[in-house]
Amino acid sequence: MSTAAPATATETRPTKKAALSDRAKGERSLGWKLAGPAFVVMLLVTLYPIGYAIYLSLFNYRLTDPAGRKFVGLQNYITALGDPLFHEAFMTTIFIVVVTLIFELVIGFGIALLMNKVVIPRRTLRTVVLIPYSIITVVSAFAWLYAAQPDTGFINHWLHTLSFGAWNENYDWFGGRWSSLFIICLSEIWKTTPFMSLLLLAGLAQVDGSMEEAAKVDGATWWQRLTKVVLPNMKAAIMVATLFRTLDAVRIYDNPYVMTGGANKTNSLSMLVGQETVGRVEIGMGSALAVLLFLLVLIIAGIFVKGFKVDLTGGGRS
Amino acid sequence: MRGRTPHRRGAAFIAASALVASMGLAACGSDSSSGGTPTLTWYINPDVGNADASKGGQATLAKECADASGGKYKINVQLLPNSASDQRLQLLRRLAAGDSSMDLMSVDPAFSTEFAAAGYYAPVPANLEAQFKEDRVQSSVDASMYKGKLVSVPFWANTQLLWYKKSVAQKAGLDMTKPVTWDQLIEAAKQTKTQIGVQAKLYEGYSVWINALVASAGGKIVDNPGATYQDIKMGLDSAAGKKAAEIIRKVTTSGVAGPAVSSSTETESLGLFDSKSGGFLVNWPYTYGALAATPKNDVGAALYPRVSKDEESKPPYGGIQLAVGKSSKHVDAAYQAAACITNLKHQTDYMVKSGNPASRKAAFDDAEVKKAFPNGIAALIRTNLDNAVPRPLTQYWGDISTALQQRFSPPQSVNDKTPASTQKFVLDVLKGKALL
């Protein structure tokens, strides 16, 4: 558990590269033999489509017009990056990511603390908390859609009652961009907070109780214990949770698709890819957008791994 | 999951197996390698009875034709989704993948050209061509052509009429026996404090309205429908396009189009007409049967409204074409089935049972049809069909339509610059210089 161990490892690594002992060589070749086939299959399954998409993105190519296929180089990327619709979808996606992430982290952490403290009925509580996460996203999207619609929904009805009639009972949630996004974010938060809280709970469980006790004895307040002891010790868990959630949210599709279908400027990037590729069968432009989305995901993952300075393979301590 | 009773679980299991079974059927619908009778798969759009063969819809025609074929073929019916765009997607995906079960399809004419241009259709046999064109209203034949060749079979044809309440027209002093213009309608609605039902939500129906207005003003949205995206010429940025935009703005901003015009489809506009404040409505013939609150003797139908007094109106054309997929293993049998499905008796039966007008002229003289569409509505539909103009028969109609809807939304904000900016946008989109 000493923090010096990884440091020495990194120092000796370059010299290790120079000469491998016979045993290490044997180990390595055995490792390749064991994992090789799976690795090749994985490459075929993932790398080939990715490469094909990159190749296709250099063409102006419509599936229903194979004769009109034309090599255009990076024109699709230039068009996409300069297009107001792309900017709109990008902003919408980032908005959803930021808003949902903040709320999910805070609420999820609260639930994790609760689950960590509660002893009786721990199992039941964890099951109940997980229910929203176990519901298929499309189903939950429809549930929220019906809840928010003026004719079938109860949200307006309740707001109307709770505000003593000040709230318009026929308010059209999906009539405007921000009100639509509000419901979309709400349903996202409701659905994926359990996932966050579960990951954070795993992190909380790792925190050494004796440290907390020591801090308590030293007279630290609850807030100080949380920020100085608990949070630093579960950095890896927080990073995993936020990274997973961000990458998930960046690719959001089903929720806005079901609720608005992209009306009122609520298109997400994934929906844009879907519209171009599936709806308009513009395979070239669709692939270019898909590649851009892929790059965005890579960049975000890179920023996280660099920013958090956590070595995920090194037992969660840096 | 806990808490599920065994009974419920049983039901779910049955539902799931039914689903899997139906998928299996869809997947191997035309696989009849076991010899004997080939089974054709017919993808139908939802209609009366859907896949139920006892209601007189397409499923009934399928059964009757299979029985009449004397064992030459069987027909298995598969139901497509409700909305035209979803239908297009499902057909397009299967056609693009070369699905061999695409024996017969009910295709919306708006998207039929796209499939024909992509070479997804099996060519129409020369010996059947005359039969497929026989006695059809011109608009249905126009909609089945691509580059001068018949590519699909006219099955049923649809058009919009102007529906009005006789009491309202009388109060406004409108003589409905003569053709009326949009301006007259707006005036009459203002005067009587009633509403005009139109379709202006962001969906295909809005493009139908826009196209009808442009055509009625003597223009064309696309000048050369067969052209590729490099050479396509549009006629939206024209006097006719401006006239159409002006009418849309007038109708939607003078308070005569109901409170929710920007989200009204056929259903909503019909509901508006059926309410107390309804006065006029442009909609398909199913309207007559769907009205619930309005007494039938107060409902009148007239020719589609004109844009200018002395130019005939060009009503929208809709309906369904039958097409045969190129990868089908039973092209000949499929075209024989299409001939049977679209014969006079079947078209007449179908019109009576489903309310979808025939493309054959003779059907409109049938006594049963006249009973189903009383007060001269049957004859009126035929006249309208003769004048009807299909949406531009270009393979890019899907894109053009989406762009039109987007740029003309919300309808209240349409002005005389809208046609020009829309035209520029459409051309950019088609050339890959803008996203849609």
- pLDDT at res. B14: 55
- pLDDT at res. A293: 94
Q: From B148, B270, B149, B222, select the one nearest B400 (Cα to Cα).
A: B222
- List chain A residues with CB under 8 Å of B435: 79-80, 83, 85-86, 272, 276, 285
B4 touches chain A (CB under 8 A): no
Which of A66, A75, A272 is opposite residue B432, by nearest beta carbon?
A: A75
A68 touches chain B (CB under 8 A): yes
- pLDDT at res. A313: 57
- List chain A residues with CB under 8 Å of B230: 68
Q: Does the pLDDT at position B117 exceed 70? A: yes
- pLDDT at res. A171: 81
- List chain A residues with CB under 8 Å of B432: 60, 72, 75-76, 79, 282, 284-285
A63 touches chain B (CB under 8 A): yes
- List chain B residues with CB under 8 Å of A275: 436
Residues comprising chain A, all counted: 318
CA distance between the termini of chain A? 11
Q: How many CB atoms lie within 10 A of CB B350?
A: 25
Binned at pLDDT 50, 70 and 90, residue B435 comes out as confident
Q: What's the pLDDT tens digit per position in B352-388?
A: 988 889 999 999 999 999 988 888 889 999 989 988 9
> Please, is A261 exposed, middle or buried when counting C-beta atoms within 10 Å of its C-beta (0-12, 13-18, 19+)?
middle
Q: What's the pLDDT tens digit per position in B50-103?
A: 888 888 889 999 999 999 988 899 999 999 988 888 899 899 989 988 999 999
- pLDDT at res. B433: 83
Ordered structural domains, chain A, with CATH = 84-317 (1.10.3720.10)
Greatest alpha-carbon pair distance for chain B in Å reads 72
Q: From B248, B275, B283, B241, select the one nearest B262 (Cα to Cα).
A: B248
- pLDDT at res. A312: 58
Q: What's the pLDDT tens digit per position in B190-224?
A: 999 999 999 988 888 899 999 999 999 999 999 98
A65 and B436 within 8 Å at the Cβ level: the answer is: no
User: Which has the minimum average pLDDT: A114-123, B25-34, B57-66, B424-433?
Assistant: B25-34
- pLDDT at res. B13: 54
- State the count of interchain CB pairs (< 8 A) between A and B: 54
- pLDDT at res. B293: 85
The strand ranges marked E within A94-222 are none
Q: DSSP character for B229?
A: T
Query: Contact, B39 vs B29, CB < 8 A?
Result: yes
CA distance A17 to A10: 12
Q: Residue B146, SS3?
A: strand
Q: Does the pLDDT at position B34 exceed 60? A: no
B436 and A68 within 8 Å at the Cβ level: the answer is: no
Positions of chain A with pLDDT under 70: 1-18, 310-318
Q: What's the pLDDT tens digit per position in B260-303?
A: 787 788 888 898 899 888 889 999 988 888 888 888 888 899 99
CA distance B148 to B142: 9
Which of B229, B395, B434 is opposite residue A83, by nearest beta carbon?
A: B434
CA distance B285 to B303: 12
Q: From B242, B227, B235, select the one nearest B430 (Cα to Cα).
A: B227
| Phi, psi (deg, nearest 5) at residue A149 | -75, 140
Average pLDDT, chain B: 86
Q: What's the pLDDT tens digit per position in B388-400?
A: 999 998 888 988 9
A64 and B92 within 8 Å at the Cβ level: the answer is: yes
Q: What's the pLDDT tens digit per position in B139-197?
A: 999 999 988 899 999 999 999 999 999 999 999 888 888 899 999 999 999 999 999 99
Ordered structural domains, chain B, with CATH = 39-158+317-390 (3.40.190.10), 161-314+395-431 (3.40.190.10)
Residues of B47-70 as b/e, b for ≥16 C-beta within 10 angstroms? bbbbbebeebbbbbbbebbbeebe
> Please, is A160 exposed, middle or buried when counting C-beta atoms within 10 Å of its C-beta (0-12, 13-18, 19+)?
middle
- List chain A residues with CB under 8 Å of B202: 263
B435 and A80 within 8 Å at the Cβ level: the answer is: yes
From B397, which residue of chain A is nearest by alpha-carbon distance? A280
From A71, which residue of chain B is nearest by alpha-carbon distance? B432
Q: From B401, B416, B414, B412, select the one nearest B257 (Cα to Cα).
A: B412
Task: Name A118's bridge partners.
Answer: none
Binned at pLDDT 50, 70 and 90, residue B26 comes out as very low
How far lies B172's CA from each of B26, B105, B294, in Å? 55, 46, 18
CA distance B113 to B317: 14
